[in-house]
């Protein structure tokens, strides 16, 4: 089969990305299916895989990709035959419950990711547990691939923050998949958004998508702008995937009792914070990643109803995959970068 391989660890990642035509076809285990990929979108996890993640086997090449939509072509043992031929969308996050211990409270579920802990969707075929797939009918596969997992991640973040109608929400790094998904989803909740970016053009585009205010991030503390916009009150919720570069501004932008939800740290993990402000203002700082199948069903139902409007930056053929990774690596994209495997 054709497959996009990351040949070796290092930066820039796109220099190690190559399309091959003779990679072995995957075989399904019991409970799994083989999906013929129609579309696969990139996200920052693909770059982290290429740079090398602690704890992952140092085995190369790798097939990344956690965003995928396609047609079920082969069934593993025990899978109902009615799955054959369906167009499905993948939730790449598998939640694992550790073995129970009689003397210890249950531990939180662990997560493994298709495309991180095993071969992903950047290939002509991918394998997934059938329980991680949902039927999307005749929905456009490029748009579907652009929805998950960005919308799933944003959905869980907003739910964790207990977002309500009328709330004011700060979204950092507008232009990335999760940030744009959050901007789209807050309209579903009837909330208002202020967004940040290092690009004036991205702020202009975000305004067209419904952002109430935009902050040009020059590297300085911009929390006073947020305070001015909220009449000194601060935002109810901050949604952040940028990390180190904006963390302190996010904390200083929250109202008393406000909530910061983090799902990534593209600028680095070792952030400076203000602990006095955190405890005195009784702030909530929450971590979040991906979402379970119940949340995935909610997101897919919204997508199929036409309520979601994913922004797509670029669609390329598999032979331009290196350029797709380069586009994401540049940080210039506004929306999802998608590889269309039907080309």
- Annotate 25-68 with DSSP letters as a single string: PP-PPTTEEEEEEEEEE--HHHHHHHH--TTS---SSB----EE
Helix H or strand E segment including 237: strand 235-240
Read off the pLDDT of each residue in 134-159 and give the average, rounded to a whole number. 97
Helix H or strand E segment including 120: none
Q: Which residue is listed with tokens 């039907």?
A: 342
The residues, any chain, with a CB within 8 Å of residue 9's CB and separated by 6 or more, are 16, 50, 51, 52, 58, 60
Say what the pLDDT of residue 185 is: 97
Chain region(s) in the chain for CATH 3.90.180.10: 3-148+291-340
Cα–Cα distance between 271 and 312 in angstroms, integer? 30
What are the φ and ψ backbone dihedral angles of 33, each rounded to 5 degrees?
Answer: -135, 160
3-148+291-340 CATH, one of 3.40.50.720, 3.40.390.10, 3.90.180.10, 3.30.930.10 = 3.90.180.10
Q: What is the pLDDT of residues 193-242, one digit of tens each?
A: 999 999 999 999 999 999 999 999 999 999 999 999 999 999 999 999 99
Supply 199's token pair: 């690009």
Say whether pLDDT at 107 is over 70.
no
pTM value?
0.93
DSSP 15-33: GGEEEES-PPPP-PPTTEE
Residue 158 DSSP class: H
151-287 CATH, one of 3.40.50.720, 3.40.1360.10, 3.40.1160.10, 3.40.50.2300 = 3.40.50.720
The residues, any chain, with a CB within 8 Å of residue 62's CB and separated by 6 or more, are 5, 6, 49, 50, 119
Cα–Cα distance between 110 and 47 in angstroms, integer? 22
Read off the pLDDT of each residue in 312-330 and give the average, rounded to a whole number. 98
Cα–Cα distance between 144 and 160 in angstroms, integer? 24
Torsion-angle region of 183 (φ positive above 0: left; ψ -120 to 50: alpha; else: beta): alpha
Q: Are 258 and 281 in contact (CB under 8 A)?
A: yes
Q: Are 87 and 81 in contact (CB under 8 A)?
A: no
Cα–Cα distance between 123 and 68 in angstroms, integer? 10
Say whether pLDDT at 58 is over 90.
no
* CA geometry: angle 35, 38, 43, nearest 5 deg: 95
The per-residue pLDDT of the chain, averaged, comes to: 94
Reported as a pLDDT band with limits 50, 70 and 90, residue 277 is very high
Q: Which residue is listed with tokens 């990344």?
A: 64
Chain region(s) in the chain for CATH 3.40.50.720: 151-287
Reported as a pLDDT band with limits 50, 70 and 90, residue 94 is confident
DSSP β-bridge partners for residue 260: 238, 285
């Amino acid at each position: 089969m054709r497959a996009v391989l990351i040949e070796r660890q290092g930066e820039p990642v796109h220099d190690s990305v190559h399309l091959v035509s003779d990679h072995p076809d995957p075989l399904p285990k019991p409970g799994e299916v083989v999906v013929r990929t129609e579309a696969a979108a990139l996200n920052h996890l693909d770059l982290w895989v290429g740079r090398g993640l602690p704890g992952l086997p140092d085995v190369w090449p790798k097939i990344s990709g956690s965003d995928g939509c396609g047609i079920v072509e082969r069934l593993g043992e025990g899978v109902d035959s009615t799955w054959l031929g369906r167009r499905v969308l993948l939730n790449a996050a598998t939640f694992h419950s550790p073995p129970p211990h009689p003397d210890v409270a249950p531990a939180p579920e662990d997560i493994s990711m298709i495309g991180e802990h095993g071969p992903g969707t950047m290939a002509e075929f991918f394998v997934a547990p059938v329980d991680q797939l949902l039927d999307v009918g005749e929905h456009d596969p490029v748009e579907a691939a652009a929805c998950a997992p960005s919308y799933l991640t944003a959905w869980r973040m907003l739910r964790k923050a207990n977002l309500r109608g009328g709330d004011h929400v700060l979204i950092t790094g507008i232009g990335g998949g999760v940030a744009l998904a959050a901007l789209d989803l807050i309209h579903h909740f009837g909330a208002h958004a202020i967004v940040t970016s290092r690009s004036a053009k991205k702020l202009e585009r975000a305004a067209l998508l419904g952002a109430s205010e935009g902050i040009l991030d020059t590297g300085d503390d911009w929390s006073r702008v947020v305070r001015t916009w909220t009449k000194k009150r601060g935002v109810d919720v901050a949604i952040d995937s940028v990390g180190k570069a904006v963390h302190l501004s996010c904390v200083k932008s929250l109202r008393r009792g406000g909530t910061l939800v983090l799902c990534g740290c593209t600028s680095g993990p070792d952030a400076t914070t203000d602990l006095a402000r955190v405890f005195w203002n009784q702030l909530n700082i929450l971590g979040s990643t991906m979402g379970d199948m119940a949340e995935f069903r909610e997101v897919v139902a919204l997508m199929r109803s036409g309520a979601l409007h994913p922004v797509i930056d670029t669609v390329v053929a598999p032979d331009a995959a290196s350029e797709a990774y380069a586009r994401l690596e540049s940080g210039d994209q506004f929306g999802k970068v998608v590889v269309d495997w039907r080309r």
